[in-house]
Amino acid sequence: MTTNKLIYTFLISGVLFSAILFWTWPRDVYNSVKNTNNIKVHVAESISKKIFVKNNITIEKYFNYMDSLVVEYDSLVPYPLSEHLLVRANPWIMDTLANTDYYNMMEQDSFVYNQKKMVVLRNSDSLIVPDSITATKIIKSMKNTLIDVNVPEFKLRIYQDNLLLHTFPIRVGRNTEKYLEMGNRITDLRTIQGYGQIIEHHKNPDFYNPVDGKQFFFTKRDDEKTTYMPQIPWIETEINGVRNGQMIHPTTNPETLEKAYSNGCIGTKEGDAWIIYYYSPLGTPIQIRYDLKIKDINGEELELKDIYGYKK
């Protein structure tokens, strides 16, 4: 009789313990474990993972390394992992890349001849693969991002969820027409305005002079020093449904910023270009406008110079 009571008590305790465990188990963990028909089963979706960098990674190896991490961890998380998502979850990477700007380094008395050889991830670093909750928030934010360019103001802005995050100085196309060998025609160099999206990233671009079509590898800086061209992504746009080759890309001569100076592209500082890149995944909407009337920081209305002479 005593033995039966002990067995009965044990069974009741087991049922109560199971019930408590069921109700206190994180819901996302329970949902992922109970779905035994799925091939990909994720336990503890809300737990982030840490990646330890094993070797120093230079800029010339950076993109291949990041791609390898995406391939390795994409099957282990319940969301589509991407390079942009991984970096947005580790914003210090953006800061590190932005600080490789030639002119930032010169301010620290460090002359960089070949930016590609700079180490940006060290073997003492670690990266976080975000949990599903954090990843979902980042993905939502990326989908609610807008790149806004006002040509006569020489400004590029990044909005996220209708909030202004960044404002960068830029250069824009000249108010002239010129024969460009690469296009084999006379081209209007004014930056094209309209609405569109980011359609391609050129992570390791080749450099050609659009005027004569010749490839080049070196650049003369504003301080008259010569260096290799840096490896920084170029961002290709599609405006008004047309892929016209209009890029957002860094200039190695920031003295030309806030001027109508380029062959049509939107030029930025080197450091700024990294930040813009990571806020511009493929499909990000962009608007390029020509608004002469703006408001200053005090709310006072200003009228900008009509650099393209549209008002004539």
Residue 265 bears catalytic tag? yes
217: left (phi over 0), alpha (psi -120 to 50) or beta: alpha
DSSP 8-state secondary structure symbol assigned to residue 230 = P
Collapsing DSSP to helix, strand or coil, 135 comes out as helix
Please pick, among 42, 166, 202, 249, the residue that the annotation labels catalytic. 249
Of 42, 166, 202, 265, which residue is the catalytic one?
265
Q: Where are the domains of the chain?
A: 2-34, 49-139, 145-303
Flag whether pLDDT at 62 surpasses 90. yes
For the stretch 221-253, pLDDT in tens is 999 999 999 999 999 999 999 999 999 999 999
237 contact partners, CB below 8 Å, separation of at least 6:
196, 197, 198, 199, 246, 247, 248, 286, 288
Q: What is the pLDDT of residues 27-39, one digit of tens each?
A: 343 333 333 333 3
Question: pLDDT band at residue 299, thresholds of 50, 70 and 90?
Answer: confident
Active site residue 42: no
- Please tell me the distance from the alpha carbon of residue 231 to that of residue 252, in angstroms, as a whole number: 11
Contact of 262 with 172, CB cutoff 8 Å: yes
pLDDT for position 278: 99
pLDDT greater than 80 at residue 40: no
CATH architecture for the domain at 145-303:
Beta Barrel (2.40)
Span 125-184, pLDDT tens digits: 999 999 999 999 999 999 999 999 999 999 999 999 999 999 999 999 999 999 998 888
Quote the pLDDT of residue 45. 59
Give the pLDDT score at 46.
Answer: 57
Widest CA span of the chain, in angstroms? 105
Q: Helix, strand or coil for residue 89? A: coil
